[in-house]
Amino acid sequence: MAIGEWRRPLCEDPIVTTDGPTNGAAAPRVGCVYRPQTAPERIAAAANAADAAGLDELWLWEDCFLAGGVSAAAVALSHSTELTVGVGVLPVPLRNVALAAMEIATLARAFPGRVRIGMGHGVQDWMAQVGEKVGSPMTLLREYLTCLTALLRGEHVTFHGRYVSLDRVQLDWPPEPMPGILAAAEGPKTLRLSGELAAGTVITSGTSPDQLRVAVSRVREGSGTRPHTIVTYLLCTTGPDARRELLDEIGEWGYDPGADLGVWGTADEIAGGARRWLDAGADTLVFQPRASTPIEEFVEFVGAEVSPLLRRS
């Protein structure tokens, strides 16, 4: 692969493009976040509960210094049969791109059609803490996505960039089908880059419907007419004190307490509120609980009660 092939886009995300449109108009996919503040030994039970409840997806985070994203995904996948498992996201400074390709390919071959992987800059303070902060995170992400794509396609890759260097590297076991590789993005430049090079974009919680519309428009500037999935994390609380719990969570994240940043209440109320994010361009909604929420109960609630309401919308 020559350096000049940077603009070659990733394949479409097969999980979304085989299920329905990627503009949030129909058949939304519904998932939950497994917060890494919950002990890793509970991943298996949560994945099993999510699978049994009919939840589409379970998303895992690789936050420093909690649980590893790839190993956590392997646990979740091995304790479910239909559940799609997403990792959102793997910080690119922490892994050589060849190693990332090997790990992703192994998961995708062992659990075909059930893996979604997001890549991101990483939280810069954390990257500095482990000695991996780079001068240009955008350049690293561009080089990384370019090479990761080619490796997962089974291509023979030689690439020498500012941060990524590969000399005649090729996977012996490339995945088939190739999983969609997504990118986490927030700022305008990264959103455009994700649209250009990734199969989808992961949007963080704390994003209002109006902000999501703007973000989607930036992504489309990069993707053009090519299908591109939008995965959106959405703060969600339920129970008798749901409204207060949501406001507390918004405060803990440092978000604007007056903004439209989450949903709360009964299954009907949550599904009704979540449609605002679907209308703004999300095709995958990933409900994000508080760290203290019992995760097995949460995935059962969303899978059995909220998800059917959204599928009928």
Q: What is the pLDDT of residues 263-299, one digit of tens each?
A: 999 999 999 999 999 999 999 999 999 999 999 999 9
Count of structural domains, the chain = 1
Q: Computed over its alpha carbons, how large is the radius of gyration of the chain?
A: 18
For the segment 39-61, the average pLDDT, to the nearest whole number, is: 99
Q: Map residue 251 onto helix, strand or coil.
A: helix
The model's confidence at residue 15, banded by pLDDT at 50, 70 and 90, is: confident
Placement of tokens 């939950």 in the chain: 32
Angle at 144 between CA 141 and CA 149, to 5 degrees: 125
pTM confidence score:
0.94
What is the spatial distance between Cα 237 and Cα 52, in angstroms, rounded to a whole number?
Answer: 21
Burial (Cβ within 10 Å: 0-12, 13-18, ≥19) of residue 208: middle
Continuous H helices in the chain: 14-17, 43-53, 69-78, 97-110, 124-129, 137-152, 188-197, 209-223, 242-253, 267-279, 295-301, 307-311
Q: Is the pLDDT of residue 200 over 60?
A: yes
Expressed in angstroms, the distance from the first to the final Cα of the chain is 44
Confidence at residue 120, expressed as pLDDT on a 0 to 100 scale: 98
What is the spatial distance between Cα 191 and Cα 220, in angstroms, rounded to a whole number?
Answer: 9
Mean pLDDT of the chain, nearest integer: 94
pLDDT digits (tens, 9 = 90+) for 215-256: 999 999 999 999 999 999 999 999 999 999 999 999 999 999
Q: Which structural domain, as residue segments, surrounds residue 111?
A: 3-311
For the segment 141-159, the average pLDDT, to the nearest whole number, is: 98
Q: 149 has which bridge partners? A: none
pLDDT digits (tens, 9 = 90+) for 52-76: 999 999 999 999 999 999 999 999 9
CATH number for 186:
3.20.20.30
